[in-house]
Structure 1
Amino acid sequence: MGDLVTRKDDNGLCWLTLNRPDKLNALTVDMFRELRAHVSDLYKDDSVGCVILKGAGKCFSAGHDLGDIAEGEAVPSRGWHSETLRLMEKLPKPVIAGVHGHCYTGALEVALAADFILAAESAKFADTHAKWALTPIWGMSQRLPRRVGIATAKRLMFTAETIKADEAMRMGLCEAIFADESFEADLESFARQILANSPFSHAANKRLLEATDADKIDAGLQWEILENEGVGPDMQARIGAFMKK
């Protein structure tokens, strides 16, 4: 595997880093190929309980590499980028997008495929498809309105405006804002809270939320009862440890 997307494991936490800082981590087919390989490996790695996806250098990513678009990208199959992000989205472990600096268009589509976005104070978000006479094919039209509502999604998609972290938090696009100088430490602290809890529950809850997203509440309640995955193999140990305190 190359070094366009790097992986570092640390006691259950996996850091995936978009690593093209000289180009503001602009996204290419080769970067997606490496991201896909890492994600595929994570499906088979039970030693990892949480994943943080971040960018090297000045930003998360400035978005899809316009040079690649102009030259015509050689993708393995139609919808391959979207399929790659769907693989990441369905990982049976929490995925955090840690966003600092630019997060524009294709980069926002990548971040939206994480379970949630944690932002640095410097984070800036935008969907600029309309600026370049493009339309989204990596998931923007589906994931953005699910996060922020259809009217706000239209606002961002139609105006191509750039919003800062505080506005992103207000509209529900990100879940927390951290200072730039402590950003990675704060990301890790947040992830460690997740890692302290049951990986069985995390995987089961992700599947439950996925299966019932946008369902009518009665249908979702029935699914929760009938398709419940029960208790995990670590339940007795966790309760026993608590009772001994």
Structure 2
Amino acid sequence: MSASQMSARVMSARVTRSDSEGLCTLMLNRPDKRNALDRRAFEELDAHCAALEGETATIGCVVLRGKGPVFCAGADIAELGPGFTDSAFRPHVIERLARLPQPVIAAVHGLCFTGGLELALAADLIVAERGARFADTHGKWGLVGAWGMTQRLPRRVGLATAKRLMFTASPIDAGEAATIGLVDVLAEEGGLDAAVATLTGDILANSWHTNIATKRLLGETDGLPLAEGLAHEHYRYPGFAPDHAERIAAFSRR
């Protein structure tokens, strides 16, 4: 493949990747369609996740963003024709994103609707600019969420609030989203990059071994009674990080 062909392929990618000092940024790259999710977007996201699963030594945090004026407006309506089923979009890809060993952050600006919200809910943390808006509009189209909406949204915001959002399809702003627990970090208008940089910097400064083990234990024990969770934590205890002695020594020298 020539350099020009490779460049054209990268430019046309639905999901691009860039790495810097242990941080991987995955960018939804379909701004002309408000980053609508189609089969190709899911195929590319799946490939990125497959690679990241084996890169815990070099990538300690993943950020998911959207190029252009919005994060993601949802599924590509053009693909919702006769014979369409949610399985055509490979819903396991969102689950694969959620199960990445590294902490995953969704950085949201503009719209985060329906399928885009399901994508953001797969992240461990959601950072949003104050002007962002969130909604589940499945009901407007006669669809039923199959990418995690009915499971992840109530776990984040509570059952009654999730019902209100899903039954009405009404959008809420980022301020309300932060109040109900949907958004973890609320950035001022124009401050999304700075907020993401601060959060990822704090995450990457800590032991990646600890972060990865903690995320795994939280996922494995989610929903378990306390006694079973404690037993699992003991049984699956991963041990200290390889550099724990150096970290403690550095602190002691302060």
* TM-score between the two structures when normalised by the length of structure 1: 0.94
Q: Relative to structure 2, which stretch is displaced further, 66-75 or 83-92?
A: 66-75
CA distance in 2, matches of 1:140, 1:209: 20
Deviations 1:46-88 (A, max 9, x none): 211101101001010111111111255598xx47632111111
Name the residue aligned to 1:58.
69
Matched, 1:108 2:151: no
Secondary structure of 2:19's partner?
strand
Q: Which structure 2 segments of 5+ residues have no match? A: 1-8
Deviations 1:200-236 (A, max 9, x none): 1111101111011122222222222232222111211
Q: CA RMSD in A?
A: 1.6
**Displacement of 1:148:** 1.0
Name the residue aligned to 1:92.
101
Name the residue aligned to 2:92.
83
Secondary structure of 2:237's partner?
coil
**Displacement of 1:114:** 0.6
Name the residue aligned to 1:151.
160
Deviations 1:113-157 (A, max 9, x none): 010111111110000111111001111111111111111111111
CA distance in 1, matches of 2:155, 2:148: 11
Structure 1 residue identity aligned to 2:65: K
**Displacement of 1:176:** 1.1
Provide closer, same or farther for how the CA distance between residues 64 and 80 of structure 1 changes in structure 2, counting only shifts above 3 A.
closer
Provide closer, same or farther for how the CA distance between residues 125 and 210 of structure 1 changes in structure 2, counting only shifts above 3 A.
same
Please give the residue correspondences for 1:33-44 in structure 2 after superposition, counting only pairs within 5 Å. 33-44=43-54
Provide closer, same or farther for how the CA distance between residues 225 and 137 of structure 1 changes in structure 2, counting only shifts above 3 A.
same
Name the residue aligned to 1:9.
19
> Identity rate of aligned residues, in percent?
47
Name the residue aligned to 1:202.
211
Structure 1 residue identity aligned to 2:126: I
CA distance in 1, matches of 2:152, 2:72: 18
Provide closer, same or farther for how the CA distance between residues 72 and 240 of structure 1 changes in structure 2, counting only shifts above 3 A.
farther
CA contact (8 A) 1:100 1:180 kept: no
Find the partner of 1:26 among 36, 44, 50. Answer: 36
Name the residue aligned to 2:132.
123
Secondary structure of 2:64's partner?
strand
Matched, 1:226 2:235: yes
**Displacement of 1:32:** 0.9
CA contact (8 A) 2:153 2:162 kept: yes
Aligned residue pairs: how many? 243
Deviations 1:164-189 (A, max 9, x none): 00110111101011123121122112
Provide closer, same or farther for how the CA distance between residues 71 and 100 of structure 1 changes in structure 2, counting only shifts above 3 A.
farther
Q: Relative to structure 2, which stretch is displaced further, 178-187 or 119-128?
A: 178-187
Q: Which structure 1 segments of 5+ residues have no match? A: none
Secondary structure of 1:98's partner?
strand
Provide closer, same or farther for how the CA distance between residues 225 and 26 of structure 1 changes in structure 2, counting only shifts above 3 A.
same
Provide closer, same or farther for how the CA distance between residues 163 and 74 of structure 1 changes in structure 2, counting only shifts above 3 A.
closer
CA contact (8 A) 2:131 2:173 kept: yes
* TM-score between the two structures when normalised by the length of structure 2: 0.91
Name the residue aligned to 2:5.
none
